[in-house]
Amino acid sequence: MTIMIKNRDSLLSRGNREGRRIVLDLLEAGLSATDSYPNMRRVVRREEGKLIFDAPEFAQLPGQQALILDLKDIRRIYVVGGGKAVQRQAEALEDILGDLITEGHICIKKGSPVNLKIIGVTLAGHPLPDKDSVAGASRIMKIMEKAGKGDLVIWLQSGGGTALLALPAPGISLEDLREVYRVLYFGAGANMPEANAIRNRVAVLNTNHEKYVHDATLVYFITNEWPPVGRAHLFDNPTPLNAYEKAISVLKKYQCWDKMPSPVRAFLSRADPKYLPPTPEDLTQRPYYRYRVMGPEYMLNAAKAKAEELGLNATILATSLNDVEAKTTGEVLARIAQESETFGRPLKPPCVYICGGEVVVPIGQEKGIGGRNQELALSAAQVIAGSHCTVIASVDSDGTDGPTDVTGGIVDGFTLERIEKSGFNLLEELRKHNTYPIFKTLGDAVITGNTGTNVRDLRVLYVGSEGLR
């Protein structure tokens, strides 16, 4: 197994060493389980002149049947898409299809290694789109527009695609698009589904790709940030009839409508149906197949299994603890750990609580450097100060937390004292959302580098039995 945490030895050199070792073991197990490559190989195979897509456990459409294509009947095969996790999906396709791939291109996050030999790669901007995001999306659009009857288009998707595949709608500039992201997501702290209700309207490729493949057969693969069931959110997948109205309502909810560039407001108000995503009825008119090959439950289940292997009481609190403020979440999770440490409930120590999802940090006008996982962990550090039993870590599965080069942080009962001795005022730094300098100074940032996946965050709370009374 590849070692995910690059600075493990350093993280184990201080504080609650035994608790940290356990937490890092669980982080390793969870992050290592997020590779979509094996599941891609389970879905796609070549047998006796046939190309077969068949894995019912990964199929997303009601009643979806296996797709079996005679290779001699396939005119061309195109592989396209974008997101922080799609390169591993593309690697599997290169290994399966080889030179059967006519042409392909994907957009992945800058800083990622490029491992593909056949499919082209653009390293694009994230979390803010840049000129490379536009250039890469344009290359993908040109490939898709070549497709027609008898062709096979394989679309690869994962989180991060809203920035990495940012192709502005007509009349909207790249800087307009960047301003939408800055104002709504970073300034106002809008949650991801609501932010996407706008971003997916003002960029024309990410959720509209089905429209551009003409009569080709389309097979869609996704590494999903959401669990496979129970996904219901008003703004997550707006119906085409009210998608523009919902986008405008989100901007007004966050008092951002007047802050939007005028071309963005004009485009949304115009509500051109040409740039709406296809309806479910549209998709039934074409050969269309969807597979979900990775999700957050793989990461959380693997962490829980490792905890049980170590003899710990373990539970998953929530697969998708989303869209609440990082500071509040850190404090609440720390109180749960404190309840176990003091009263032995809801789990008796030694125990582990695990959760996933993605919290938010509304930074407003503050200029601090940090990320949601670092903010969550330092907020928890205040509550568990003085504990000899509790260790808490929070990391981003993609390897980067916010605009920093670390994936998150780890804290224990000694962290607050070390912060104060280092000269930081934790409350003031949290107010400024300036958590990265603290973790770098303490040496308690968790470092993985780019992981090649994206299934949101992993949080681990460990409570040892020493303090139970």
Residues 228 and 125 in one domain: yes
pLDDT > 90 in the chain, percent: 82
Residues 184 and 114 in one domain: yes
pLDDT at residue 323 above 90?
A: no
Residues 82 and 208 in one domain: yes
Residues 341 and 252 in one domain: no
Domain assignment present for 185: yes
Global pTM?
0.92
Q: What is the pLDDT of residues 83-99, one digit of tens each?
A: 999 999 999 999 999 99
pLDDT at residue 240 above 70?
A: no
Residue where a domain stops, chosen among 270, 293, 316: 293
pLDDT at residue 18 above 90?
A: yes
Domain assignment present for 147: yes
Domain assignment present for 331: yes
Residues 44 and 23 in one domain: no
Residues 268 and 308 in one domain: no
Residues 74 and 205 in one domain: yes
Domain assignment present for 2: no
Residues 169 and 313 in one domain: no
Label the pairing between strands 44-47 and 50-53.
Answer: antiparallel
Residues 312 and 425 in one domain: yes
Average pLDDT over residues 426-455: 96
Average pLDDT over residues 174-201: 88
Residue where a domain stops, chosen among 293, 323, 358: 293
Residues 216 and 356 in one domain: no
Label the pairing between strands 408-412 and 390-396.
Answer: antiparallel
What is the CATH classification number for the domain harbouring 123? Answer: 3.40.50.10180
CA–CA gap between residue 153 and residue 101 (Å, rounded): 10
Average pLDDT over residues 374-386: 98
Question: Where in the sequence is the domain holding 316, given as residue range(s)?
Answer: 8-34+296-463
Domain assignment present for 24: yes
Name the average pLDDT for the chain: 92
**What per-residue confidence (pLDDT) applies to 1?**
53
pLDDT at residue 236 above 70?
A: no
Domain assignment present for 468: no
What is the CATH classification number for the domain harbouring 408? Answer: 3.40.1480.10
Domain assignment present for 1: no
Q: Residue 229: pLDDT band by 50, 70, 90 thresholds?
A: low
Residues 324 and 383 in one domain: yes
CA–CA gap between residue 357 and residue 266 (Å, rounded): 34
Total number of domains constituting the chain: 2
Average pLDDT over residues 146-172: 95
Residue where a domain stops, chosen among 278, 293, 308: 293
